[in-house]
Amino acid sequence: MELIDGKATAARIRGELRERAAKLTAQGIQPGLAVVLLGEDPASRSYVTAKEKACGELGLYSRDIRKPAETSEEELLCLIDELNGDPAIHGILVQLPLPSHINSDRVIERIIPTKDVDGFHPVSVGKMMLGQETFLPCTPHGIVKLLEEKNIETSGAEIVVVGRSNIVGKPIANMLLQKTRPGNATVTVCHTGTKSLKEHTLRADIIIAAAGRAGTITADMVREGAVIIDVGVNRVPDDTKKRGYRLVGDVDFEAVKEKSSFITPVPGGVGPMTITMLLYNTVLSAERVLAGRG
Ligand code: GUN
């Protein structure tokens, strides 16, 4: 069994991005990311803080816009219009989930696709499905990079994705079925409507667990030698921890690791790749501007 070290891969890619960002800055285009957060949700706040810190470390410009939860949709849409037209900003990220009085679809659709570094805009999603050049969503893109890093063959592989979210399940399934490499896999997407999850996972060469529920994948559901990618981030109560909980994935790690050929830990697997690919998209966006394609 080999552990897939997301922190190491993230660090390597960030090193490359730092150089690309420095080159762009020397040519007068410092890549800039705007992060918009409404409200005080602690998990969202810590994600946003991590994004800003990562931008600083890579020499990216970051604009941190924090607004109260009561901010109106109209005000948020105006802010996006402003950022769409701001030449210092190459990527716009609106942290989800948004407060319930705001229509997230309308907000995402307002972001100009050339600055949609989350890859959530319908234009980005459509281009991804068609295999056209676009911004790929960060978590699925990070998963693909980890598979590439470990030379894990996807062509012809049976890949079972567990979970059908717009952020992970649906896009990773689409990316892996593209004919180009890495991809060309036979992809099955399982979800809460699947009759026998185990029947599917036992056939898998690669399992991508993105259900958002601890204990979704147990050892009896995994065949010997399978590759396990665990996207889950679940808090389980733990009195031995100062904060009162610990983070676990969707996979029963201790038992499943014995059967797997490769496995991602939680934390330290897929997680560190997500922000890295956000920075990747922001640098790419600035490079497109320099090339006159922004
Ligand atoms: N909330 C949880 N994950 C994400 C993400 O990747 N992007 C945004 N914008 N919000 C999120």
Residues 229, 235, 236: CA angle, nearest 5 degrees: 110
Task: Return the active site residues.
Answer: 51, 95, 118
Decide whether 30-112 matches 138-272 in CATH topology.
Answer: yes
pLDDT score at 294: 84
Left if phi > 0, otherwise alpha if psi is -120 to 50, otherwise beta: which for 52? alpha
Give me ligand 1 centre to Cα 274, in Å.
9
pLDDT score at 43: 87
- Output the residue whose Cα is nearest ligand 1's atom 2: 96
pLDDT score at 225: 98
Pocket lining: 116 vs ligand 1, CB cutoff 6 Å: no
Q: At 276, which amino acid appears?
A: T
Pocket lining: 248 vs ligand 1, CB cutoff 6 Å: no
Report how far Cα 225 is from the mean position of its chain's Cα atoms.
Answer: 26
30-112: in CATH 1.25.40.10: no
Pocket lining: 118 vs ligand 1, CB cutoff 6 Å: yes
- The pLDDT profile of the chain, 294 residues, written as one tens digit per residue, is 999 999 999 999 999 999 999 999 999 999 999 999 999 998 899 999 999 999 999 999 999 999 999 999 999 999 999 999 999 999 999 999 999 999 999 999 999 999 999 999 999 999 999 999 999 999 999 999 999 999 999 999 999 999 999 999 999 999 999 999 899 999 999 999 999 999 999 999 999 999 999 999 999 999 999 999 999 999 999 999 999 999 999 999 999 999 999 999 999 999 999 999 999 999 999 999 999 988
Give me ligand 1 centre to Cα 44, in Å.
8
Pocket lining: 138 vs ligand 1, CB cutoff 6 Å: yes
Pocket lining: 266 vs ligand 1, CB cutoff 6 Å: no
Give me ligand 1 centre to Cα 209, in Å.
18
- Residue 278 contacts by C-beta under 8 Å, 6 or more apart in sequence? 33, 51, 91, 93, 117, 118, 138
For the chain, the domains span 30-112, 138-272
Architecture of domain 138-272: 3-Layer(aba) Sandwich (3.40)
